[in-house]
Amino acid sequence: MNNIKQVDDHLLGKTEPDEALLFEAKLILDPELNDSVHWHKQTLSLVHQHGREGLRQQIQAVHRQLFTMPQHNSFSQMILRLFKR
């Protein structure tokens, strides 16, 4: 678990310069650690993409509610007028 935190901190740039240098040396000496870093980086990328997709879906849901529901008609008209200028 400690190794995961070190990898995570390293990839997110949270380590001090001396610790980062030491970690880079460990990467050179330990192929398993290098593999762990690779897969951890892939995992972070997938989590980031998933988070963006979730946010995109939430924004689309709000958009649908504001621009299609009759009770929000005056608000949506006001917003549309702002962008027509």
Predicted local confidence at residue 66, as pLDDT: 87
* pTM given for the model: 0.63
Neighbours of 6 (CB within 10 A): 19
Predicted local confidence at residue 1, as pLDDT: 60
- Per the structure, the count of domains in the chain is 1
Q: Contact, 62 vs 72, CB < 8 A? A: no
What average pLDDT values come out for the chain (85 residues) when binned by 10 residues? 85 94 94 93 93 93 89 87 82
In Å, how far are 13, 37, 72 from 42, measured between CA atoms?
Answer: 16, 9, 42
Question: Tokens at residue 46, please?
Answer: 């997938």
Predicted local confidence at residue 73, as pLDDT: 87
Kindly state the DSSP code that residue 12 receives in the 8-state scheme: T
> Domain range for residue 51?
2-84
